[in-house]
Structure 1
Amino acid sequence: MMVEDEGLEETTESSNLDDPISDEPNDSLIGGEKTSADYYFDSYSHFGIHEEMLKDTVRTKTYQNVIYQNIFLFRNKVVLDVGAGTGILSLFCAKAGAKHVYAVECSRMADMAKEIVEANGFSNVITVLKGKVEEIVLPVAQVDIIISEWMGYFLLFENMLATVLYARDKWLINDGIVLPDRASLFLTAIEDAEYKEDKIEFWNNVYGFDMLCIKKQSMMEPLVDTVDQNQIVTNCQLLKTMDISKMASGDASFTAPFKLVAERNDYIHALVAYFDVSFTKCHKLTGFSTGPRSRATHWKQTVLYLEDVLTIGEGEAVVGSMTVAPNKKNPRDVDIMLKYSLNGEHCQVSRTQQYKMR
């Protein structure tokens, strides 16, 4: 989809790389008790979340093809893999001829990654470093390439982008490259009466009791789900493009205007956000979209339900702005403020809503 946007090529061809993941993970390394302070990293200690990401072929094969089809970028280069997980990207880079790869992973999956690297015969090329990027000591002063799959739901949830930018500023050589190097956030609007009735309006009357306090809470929490493209009522609006090679960490907080023009007479129950990523340093521009008209990914889309049901006519527009920022108490959460208005023939409304991804 939306790379009607920029003609991005989504690459998902199969390759000959054998799956390096062990069928029987070592529970003593991956299990264990979690504390609230370690929850984010320990959530990545279990193999299940990595299975989901590895099986996301849009995600994983795009990275694989970026590396295998652009060997000239990696040959004899020093690579830093930020948030390496199982080490799959590091393995791709090593197979493509990287001089050395430093795979940094803070969760206990780092122990598994070391075993995977050894099992596949890459211990002389890949060094797995267990710890936070902000705290580790890298054995080299500089790297040629930083590669990372840092994107969260709504692009910015979990705030791993800040870690990639930290690594870029600390270790990347002046003419080094970051992969991917561009990410764009988009917004559209959908009709979704059935789901809203089932999940939101349900709280109006629960076996005869008023539970509106929960309804208010449920409205504030964006839903991560797959949207049927037939539900889309308006155009898709670019909100923000981030150049990972140049941006400052503060650029991930922003306010962006939008104008969503109805393509048919319908109702609008929610706005939907999704993102695209691209690798512009490749021989051929490559990337993928997480939009509702593209192949499904584990990121799905992010749905923000509106308090109002908007009755909109073809050619009428919902206009407004979206403000996005990390939560001050927990920077891995995302605060979203949505201002919107519609001045149509059948509906006039103006409202501000607050959301929190957590």
Structure 2
Amino acid sequence: MLKDTVRTKTYQNVIYQNKFLFKDKVVLDVGAGTGILSLFCAKAGAKHVYAVECSLMADMAKEIVQVNGYADVITVLKGKVEEIVLPVPHVDIIISEWMGYFLLFENMLNTVLYARDKWLITDGIVLPDKASLYLTAIEDSEYKEDKIEFWNNVYGFNMSCIKKQSMMEPLIDTVDQNQIVTNCHLLKTMDISNMTSGDAAFTAPFKLVAERNDYIHALVAYFDVSFTKCHKFMGFSTGPRSRGTHWKQTVLYLEDVLTICEGEELVGSMTVSPNKKNARDVDIVLQYSLTGQRCRVSRTQHYKMR
């Protein structure tokens, strides 16, 4: 993730170009990893930074902080945010890189919200403070034929039961922007400063309008992240028309191959919820319909991100 320059340089620019936010402030870094965000904050003039990391990387972070001369400014705490004892009653800023694939898969959002409610002062700042999930549609016949339709005939045997399973598992991959067939639709914007954990489960309608005559094999989800408290708007996108990130995009293949003409609409809704057995997993229910010149279809599909 450190080599993900879109991600890391955005955080660095947010901190270094907005030092007025960090000057003499107490910062909590949730899920600190190597401590890179904590180091940025310390260099920007933070009074003190508490870097919380529950994995073994916390031991490395302590050494990194020591070697770089910030041991008097950064305190690394090893453990879960929900279980640690913070040496101070309140913090001025919470910073975290909490986003997962599809924004919500294996994310740390609930941990950030827990820290916000427990330690952040009134009018304190959460960075980033906005995250938006988008949806678009693509033509992807080559991949679908190679990876999914393959199971219909495997050396003369029907293994379509595996095809059904593979259809239920969203693919994390980089999508070529030339594959995009429709406009992009905003599904959900999350305000991290004010939302509750329950807001991460939602049902959102969508309408995708074809920009050319083509086929639709899959829908693609991606997210944008915003830092709106900065001197000027800052953020990044994980969309297929933006520079690549380690999050890539999330591809949900459709059971049907849809034939769509320019101006026609694919409409439906997407329901997103944490899995009941493991809240870090995500269940997705997709309902869609298309009534076009050459294609009429209405279907519900279920996906599981595990």
Give TM class, smaller chain: over 0.9
Q: Which amino acid aligns with 2:136?
A: T
**1:325 aligns to 2:273 (yes or no):** yes
Q: What SS is found at the alignment partner of 2:268?
A: strand
Alpha-carbon separation, structure 2, partners of 1:332 and 1:200? 26
Q: Which amino acid aligns with 1:241?
A: T
**1:200 aligns to 2:148 (yes or no):** yes
Instruction: Specify the alignment match of 2:195 in structure 1.
Output: 247
Provide, for residues 21-65 of structure 1, a one-character-per-residue CA deviation record: whole Å limited to 9, x for no partner: xxxxxxxxxxxxxxxxxxxxxxxxxxxxxxxx0000000000000
* 1:135-284 equivalences in 2 (<5 Å): 135-284=83-232
More strand by share: 2
Instruction: Specify the alignment match of 2:294 in structure 1.
Output: 346
Gapped runs of 5+ residues in structure 2?
A: none
* 1:57-206 equivalences in 2 (<5 Å): 57-206=5-154
Q: Is the 8 A contact 1:144 1:177 kept in 2?
A: yes
Q: What SS is found at the alignment partner of 1:55?
A: coil
What's the % identity of the aligned pairs?
88
Q: Which amino acid aligns with 1:303?
A: V
Alpha-carbon separation, structure 1, partners of 2:34 and 2:304? 30
Instruction: Specify the alignment match of 1:355 in structure 2.
Output: 303
Q: What SS is found at the alignment partner of 1:242?
A: strand
Provide, for residues 47-91 of structure 1, a one-character-per-residue CA deviation record: whole Å limited to 9, x for no partner: xxxxxx000000000000000000000000000000000000000
Q: Is the 8 A contact 1:185 1:273 kept in 2?
A: yes
Q: Which moved more, 1:81-90 or 1:202-211?
A: 202-211
Gapped runs of 5+ residues in structure 1?
A: 1-52
Alpha-carbon separation, structure 1, partners of 2:291 and 2:55? 50
* 1:291-330 equivalences in 2 (<5 Å): 291-330=239-278
Normalising by structure 1, we get a TM-score of 0.85
Alpha-carbon separation, structure 2, partners of 1:212 and 1:132? 43
Q: What SS is found at the alignment partner of 1:305?
A: strand
Q: What SS is found at the alignment partner of 2:2?
A: helix
Output the aligned Cα RMSD.
Answer: 0.4
Aligned length: 306
Alpha-carbon separation, structure 2, partners of 1:124 and 1:76? 14
Q: Which amino acid aligns with 1:287?
A: G
Instruction: Specify the alignment match of 1:25 in structure 2.
Output: none
Provide, for residues 218-251 of structure 1, a one-character-per-residue CA deviation record: whole Å limited to 9, x for no partner: 0000000000000000000000000000001100
Q: Which amino acid aligns with 2:171?
A: L
Cα distance, 1:150 vs. partner? 0.4
The structure 1 segments of at least 4 consecutive aligned residues displaced by more than 4 Å after TM superposition are none
Cα distance, 1:159 vs. partner? 3.2
Alpha-carbon separation, structure 2, partners of 1:160 and 1:215? 31
Cα distance, 1:213 vs. partner? 1.0
Normalising by structure 2, we get a TM-score of 1.00
